[in-house]
Amino acid sequence: MINRSVDVPRDVRELVEKTIDQTERAFSFFFEQAKLPGNLALNFA
């Protein structure tokens, strides 16, 4: 197996890290809201 190394520019790496952090926070917020009792936004009955 060949181990190839790719140099990712620092700016791109920082942008990706920020994007992943924001996505994780958005999913956490969504699931926390979904667990709240009486949340009408997720009540399909």
Q: Is residue 40 predicted with pLDDT exceeding 60?
A: no
H/E element, 45: none
pLDDT band of residue 10 (cuts 50, 70, 90) is very high
Residue 22 Ramachandran class (φ > 0 left, ψ -120 to 50 alpha, else beta): alpha
Give the pLDDT confidence score for residue 43 in this predicted structure: 53
Q: Are 33 and 41 in contact (CB under 8 A)?
A: yes
Average pLDDT over residues 28-38: 78
